[in-house]
Amino acid sequence: MRNTARWATTLGLTAAAVCAPLAGAASGADGTTALYAPSALVLTLGHGDSTATATPERAVTLSCAPGPGGTHPSAASACAELNGIDGDLDALTMREGVYCTRQYDPVLVTVDGVWQGQRVSYERIFPNTCVMNAHGSSVFAF
């Protein structure tokens, strides 16, 4: 229960940091709407088999519209990668030519937010860090 509360607190605080600016971006003071759909995500990473047992170790924000930004260390390349797959995180497959051990040290990645105006909620458990890093090139590199 304690780990679940940590995940909830981490997600809540980072979501507030990401989503608060979106409220102003969606419509202007004069009632007009933005020229782009918002794309802002909160990505978290921790070790464990589920959100109930995993302790969040890192969390970053990633904003891709109107331009790349946030606390993600490779925001521009992560946004380019997400744009290439239309924001479908399930489409991030293991790159060819990458070989990982079969060691089981589960890594839990969660992504929550908005992608091109649509709500996104993604959770995936990778068997180890190597396999996680082999999925895409920069989205999970934080």
The CATH number assigned to the domain holding 75 equals 3.30.350.10
Residue 141 within any structural domain of the chain: no
**What pTM does this model have?**
0.74
Q: Is the dihedral of CA 82, 103, 3, 50 positive or negative?
A: positive
> Which amino acid does the sequence have at 90?
D
pLDDT in tens, 82-110: 999 999 999 999 988 999 999 999 999 99
pLDDT above 70 covers a percentage of the chain that reads 75
Domain count, the chain: 1
Under DSSP, the state recorded for 94 is B
Does 11 score more than 50 pLDDT? no
Residue 142 within any structural domain of the chain: no
Domain span holding position 108:
2-134
CA 37 to chain centre: 17
Q: Which residue has the tokens 């497959």?
A: 93
